[in-house]
Amino acid sequence: MSKIEEALRRARAERAGEPTADGARDEVRDGWGDGERQKPAASRGALIGLTAAEEIAHMREERPYGPAELAQRRIIDKEMTDPRVADAFRQLRTSLLQKSGDRNFVLTVTSVADGGGTSFVAINLAAAIALDESKTALVIDCNLRQPSLDALLQTEGEAAGLTDYLSGQERNVERIIHPVGIPRVRLIPTGTQGRSAMEYFTAPQLGHLITSLRQRYRERYIIIDAPPVKDSADTRILSELSDHTLLVVPYGKTTPAQVADAAIAIGEEKLVGCVLNNEVRVPLFSTRRPTQTYA
């Protein structure tokens, strides 16, 4: 069995609550404590039972961006002059919440092709979720080859992130989660280590990390910024670790056959729908407006 096949099998087993090959199922080293092995997730009531108010109390922004700064970064805000932009992402958020039965979810966002706007959709969907003051959003940048969200970080110097945790260089999860100036939104950047994506995505620690992040707070919604689906090995593994996968289709840059192939690669069980991005007839921050469709 190849590393990719084993990683996919492990991801399916973790989602089903079955033991993986290394015997890890519920015991997750989540890094919020003192580094010792934690109790099974189902018994960690002190973590899982935190209310939104208690969580939000720990998520105050030291340097929140104002409307002009958010617009410059092409991030939606409830005070935007043109509400159509925020409304489009609110509608997308509402559809996903209905799909999940209002339970917190893990969503992989991928694109048909390079430069499709995956990061743009991921961060704005997170911002839309966080517009509801009872919810928080965490974006994980898993596009290790072309990361684009580091510019949002408010951390000085190199920021520890996903690769640092998965390689064992950083064992404390709190140190890889960073503010980005958007209330109730946090980011795990790609990190400072430089090995191949497959080397990280086939490791069991990734599934354990995502499970731990999700179970820690019931009001937290996790969005994975994934590579284009043409890099299907990486994206398939991330999709298996998620509840849903959203496909971003760059307007005017792909053919219907390419979109169909991407949808097939994701699979009917995971694909929650598509977002048409870069639709030029109604500009978004002078360039983009998403239009979503659902299967």
User: What pLDDT band is residue 293 in, cutting at 50, 70 and 90?
Assistant: very low
Q: Is the pLDDT of residue 180 over 50?
A: yes
pLDDT in tens, 1-60: 565 566 566 666 655 555 444 444 333 333 333 333 333 333 334 444 455 555 554 556
Q: Which residue has the higher pLDDT, 201 or 44?
A: 201
User: What pLDDT band is residue 155 in, cutting at 50, 70 and 90?
Assistant: confident
At residue 41, the pLDDT reads 38
At residue 27, the pLDDT reads 34
Q: Tell me if residue 223 falls in helix, strand or coil.
A: strand
Q: Which residues contact 16 (CB under 8 A, 6 or more apart)?
A: none
What Cα–Cα distance (Å) separates residue 35 from each residue in 32, 138, 170? 7, 22, 11
At residue 208, the pLDDT reads 92
Q: Is the pLDDT of residue 119 over 50?
A: yes
Q: How many helices and strands in the chain, by DSSP H and E? A: 11, 8
pTM reported for the whole predicted model: 0.77
At residue 80, the pLDDT reads 80
At residue 240, the pLDDT reads 92
Lowest mean pLDDT among 132-146, 176-190, 254-268, 271-285: 271-285
Instruction: Identify whether the C-beta of residue 223 lies closer than 8 Å to the C-beta of residue 126.
Output: yes
What Cα–Cα distance (Å) separates residue 254 from each residue in 112, 124, 230? 7, 23, 12
Q: Is the pLDDT of residue 127 over 50?
A: yes
CATH code assigned at 93: 3.40.50.300
Q: Domain count of the chain? A: 1
What Cα–Cα distance (Å) separates residue 233 from each residue in 27, 190, 202, 206? 27, 18, 10, 15
Domain that holds residue 45: 3-294
